């Protein structure tokens, strides 16, 4: 299985400051159709996950533009340009190129 | 509005069986792949299984292969997960999921149903 490794696992952030989460895969996520199936999810306590980003850089409808995704191959990053209070929770990356699709361990974002 | 409503969770003894259901609405059900993602208490997310829109293909995580069976009834807009030979490590909230391309991660999630395997 493709192992997705996120870092850091815990991220204390200051409101209004940027934040960045790294996600590395044990294999290239470039699919035979030339797409790279790497997505990002945000889960608040007691809620279901919400997709933020898909195919590395595509932002979902309604997702604030302070969220952005980047990367290629095996190295990916989720950036929040200015953290807001509603951004707390756990962030997961997920690869959909190789079955079984797999998630990272999660990064817990909290306000300092 | 897309809605996914799971049911069928509960407490079951090790070795027992349970059938989860997911009632879907708000989209053309037969056009979308559907999947189950689970989350053990306090843990991360794990893909369990998914099925093509027309039901022609199914996929399973190794951890459940041979024990779980995913199916769908497009006429009723229902997704199912038959779980047999349950183990303590299957204890989790099971989410029904869908989207235009599940490879890109589920756009839509149900609220989940809790399965507890314990004696």
In chain B, whose CA is at the least distance from the CA of A38?
Answer: B104
Smallest CA–CA distance, residue A63 to chain B, in Å, is 12
- Using DSSP's 3-state secondary structure scheme, residue B29 falls into helix
Using the structure block, give the residue that is written with the tokens 């190789």. Answer: A98
Q: Determine the Cα–Cα distance for residues B12 and B92; give it in Å rounded to an integer.
A: 12
Tens-binned pLDDT, residue by residue, of chain A (112 aa): 999 999 999 999 999 999 999 999 999 999 999 999 999 999 999 999 999 999 999 999 999 999 999 999 999 999 999 999 999 999 999 999 999 999 999 999 999 9
Beta carbons of B107 and A60 less than 8 Å apart? yes
**Could you tell me which residues are beta bridge partners of residue A82?**
none
Per-residue confidence (pLDDT) for residue A96, from 0 to 100: 97
Q: Which two three-digit tokens encode residue A55?
A: 């195919």
Name the residue among A49, A100, A105 with its Cβ closest to that of B47.
A100
pLDDT at B21: 98
Q: How many Å apart are CA A25 and CA A104, to the nearest integer?
A: 9
How many angstroms from the chain centroid is the CA of residue A65? 14
| Phi, psi angles (nearest 5°) of residue A3 | -95, 130
Write the pLDDT tens digit of every residue in B36-85.
999 999 999 999 999 999 999 999 999 999 999 999 999 999 999 999 99
E strands of chain B, at which residues?
3-7, 10-12, 18-25, 34-39, 45-51, 58-60, 68-73, 78-83, 92-98, 108-109, 113-117
Nearest-Cα distance to chain A for B36, in Å, is 12
């Amino acid at each position: 299985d493709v192992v997705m490794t996120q870092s850091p696992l815990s991220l204390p952030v200051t409101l209004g400051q940027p934040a960045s989460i790294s996600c590395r895969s044990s294999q290239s996520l470039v699919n035979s159709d030339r797409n790279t199936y790497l997505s990002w999810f945000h889960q608040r306590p007691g809620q279901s996950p919400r997709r933020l980003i898909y195919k590395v850089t595509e932002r979902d409808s309604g997702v604030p533009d302070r969220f952005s995704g980047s990367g290629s191959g095996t190295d990916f990053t989720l950036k929040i340009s200015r953290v807001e209070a509603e951004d707390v929770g756990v962030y997961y990356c997920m690869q959909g190129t190789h079955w079984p699709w797999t998630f990272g361990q999660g990064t817990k974002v909290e306000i300092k | 509005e897309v809605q996914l409503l799971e049911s069928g969770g509960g407490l079951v003894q090790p070795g027992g069986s349970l059938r989860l259901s997911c009632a879907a609405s708000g989209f053309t059900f037969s056009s979308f792949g559907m999947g189950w993602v689970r989350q053990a208490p306090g843990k991360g997310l794990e893909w369990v299984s998914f099925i093509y829109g027309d039901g022609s293909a199914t996929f399973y995580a190794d951890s459940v292969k041979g024990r779980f069976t995913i199916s769908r009834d497009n006429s009723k807009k229902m997704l199912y997960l038959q779980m047999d030979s349950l183990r303590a490590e299957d204890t989790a909230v099971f989410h029904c999921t869908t989207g235009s391309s599940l490879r890109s991660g589920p756009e839509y999630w149900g609220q989940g149903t809790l399965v507890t395997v314990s004696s």
